[in-house]
Structure 1
């Protein structure tokens, strides 16, 4: 267990106020919550602290009163659903307790930024902006993109038009909805793209510009709060492939998981053995969500299918369908009710 993980669970969150110039009290207050990731990484050395990230971008002092606290110092491949719960609870507590905060920025690794952002999109119960950012290059790399992304994310969080749009992901001067954004390249800095629906806006030298909003339910309109929730349902993702004998899918079901997401072929179609196994598993009371390995286009279900416990993921990719199913299962195991949640979130 990493030191960052232990500190997160123990609630040992460090609070540091970055020194501000005279007159900065008129600027919006933005809390940066550092979780680690490439933006804080230094190959061969310890990750940077949250305060070190802020101090490396002196231009922040002209944008906002920046406060920083550390949640963890881990790569996002080490993030777990327990981290998601703790982070959501921390942000909700912070926004409830401190009305003077204008927005939140979370620095995060890019490997699982999509999942964390979408989880927060569904569980933060406040209209003030929550923005995730990170980087593709380490803090010591030539032309590191972390400082620019952090500055841009703070500018978005401080913008009065950013509220009420759900959780945002900001990198490479683009603003994306947590629901729609995908990481699309293993190496390039323009990796985060909302290919099917488009970015919400951009950040230019003269300001923040929004051009659309997310139409699905989020934040205060989404699922009920996580109050009292100490653990999330266990939901694996099982990939289909040519010649699949469905042994992995059946094995998960035999372990008593709460639900399963199947990464299916185009349109949610599955191989013959997987199709039989899905029907059997759903009939025994374990909800199964069909998502597609194809990057764009909806998986379309039917009322009959939902009644049988087989849910269509719509345009959510498998890893985000898993996030939504985990939260939906806190409220219902009925296929029709879960399908309605997928249709609106």
Structure 2
């Protein structure tokens, strides 16, 4: 980021803004209680480490398990407006942990930002005696201000680690180091006020095909609905058929299947998916495995296969159905 340019911090709620009845409570708290301005007050040296002016705005105030398309749309529009400003060097977004990976990927797909856009979060509420939010927010600002952050696309920073939007995922329900980057690992580490990057910018984050402007996004009520089905032992043919029928009747436009192993699906689910495709639903195949991606046979080329996790494949398919280029290969 260019020296002296403003870093804008956008608040959306989450555990980082949560409070509990006692300082020792790490579960059973009330998320999204504090405003983003209050979060900044918990890090008194934030402007010093940023080496830049700070601006705080509240975009939403919700538990990220309840993240919705309306909030995504508002966040994308505001980020786009800010990124166009010459005086803004980067953006930090405070977010809940549950759907952070989905929001990060959505923003990467619709913004492909050249300036840093960094999401951060907390696993413990702000009222906890060992709250991790202030440290994560400080690290996110440090990352945003780093001159080598530009060109890496949307990033996520937590527990001293920096992940790309494509790779980041939540893998633990409780620990403060609840995120990882899959096979690729972190893109960098925040250490003693500096970022140590795993490698130079390779342009991968910005190499996707040209995308429409954020203004081309339809109103959220018109976004195509895409749902996720999980393949598992004991799938019932009649139940899967009934589910697909209900989804079609509800106007769902696409399905992502989280398959077992290398993206395989139970024969009962296979039959239901054939029906779905015959009804015009777009289908993508992912794997429910935490690491890796589906590997196709040398002579196979199943266009339904996605290289992303099921939740990110859902986001990519939804945008694809709205005219965005495909981003899940």
Q: For the superposition of Structure 1 and Structure 2, which TM-score range results when normalised by the shorter chain?
A: 0.7 to 0.9
Structure-2 separation of matches of 1:79 and 1:152: 24
Q: Which residue of 2 aligns with 1:71?
A: 59
Q: Deviation digits for residues 80-125 of structure 1, max 9, x if unmatched?
A: 12211110111001222x2111110000000110100110111115
Q: Which residue of 2 aligns with 1:54?
A: 40
Answering whether residue 131 of structure 2 is matched by residue 144 of structure 1, we say yes
Structure-1 separation of matches of 2:232 and 2:203: 33
Structure-2 separation of matches of 1:129 and 1:189: 24
Q: Deviation digits for residues 206-261 of structure 1, max 9, x if unmatched?
A: 51121235764548855323323212210011112222121323321332311111
Q: Which residue of 2 aligns with 1:263?
A: 258
Confirm or deny: 8 A CA contact 2:15 2:97 kept in the other structure.
yes
Q: Deviation digits for residues 163-216 of structure 1, max 9, x if unmatched?
A: 110100000111000110111111111111112111101111151121235764
Q: CA deviation at 1:300?
A: 4.0
Answering whether residue 307 of structure 2 is matched by residue 319 of structure 1, we say no
Q: Which residue of 2 aligns with 1:285?
A: 280
SS at match of 1:30: strand
User: For residues 100 and 221 of structure 1, do their structure 2 counterparts lie closer, same or farther at Cα, with a shift above 3 Å needed?
Assistant: farther
Structure 1's unaligned 5+ residue stretches are: 1-25
Q: Deviation digits for residues 29-51 of structure 1, max 9, x if unmatched?
A: 21000111111111257711111
Q: Which residue of 1 aligns with 2:162?
A: 175
User: For residues 115 and 70 of structure 1, do their structure 2 counterparts lie closer, same or farther at Cα, with a shift above 3 Å needed?
Assistant: same
Structure-2 separation of matches of 1:313 and 1:253: 22
Answering whether residue 218 of structure 2 is matched by residue 250 of structure 1, we say no
Answering whether residue 214 of structure 2 is matched by residue 226 of structure 1, we say yes
Confirm or deny: 8 A CA contact 2:80 2:214 kept in the other structure.
no
Q: CA deviation at 1:330?
A: 0.9
Q: Which residue of 2 aligns with 1:30?
A: 7
Q: Deviation digits for residues 12-44 of structure 1, max 9, x if unmatched?
A: xxxxxxxxxxxxxx6442100011111111125
Q: How many residues align?
A: 306
Over the residues paired in the alignment, what is the CA RMSD in angstroms?
Answer: 2.1
Q: TM-score, normalised by structure 2?
A: 0.87
Superposed counterparts of 1:39-188, under 5 Å: 39-44=16-21, 47-64=33-50, 65-96=53-84, 98-188=85-175
- Of 222, 228, 238, the residue aligned with 1:237 is 228
Confirm or deny: 8 A CA contact 1:121 1:219 kept in the other structure.
no
Q: Which residue of 2 aligns with 1:191?
A: 178
Answering whether residue 269 of structure 2 is matched by residue 274 of structure 1, we say yes
SS at match of 1:131: strand
- When structure 1 is superposed on structure 2, of 210-219 and 142-151 the one drifting more is 210-219
Confirm or deny: 8 A CA contact 1:167 1:177 kept in the other structure.
yes
- When structure 1 is superposed on structure 2, of 77-86 and 40-49 the one drifting more is 40-49
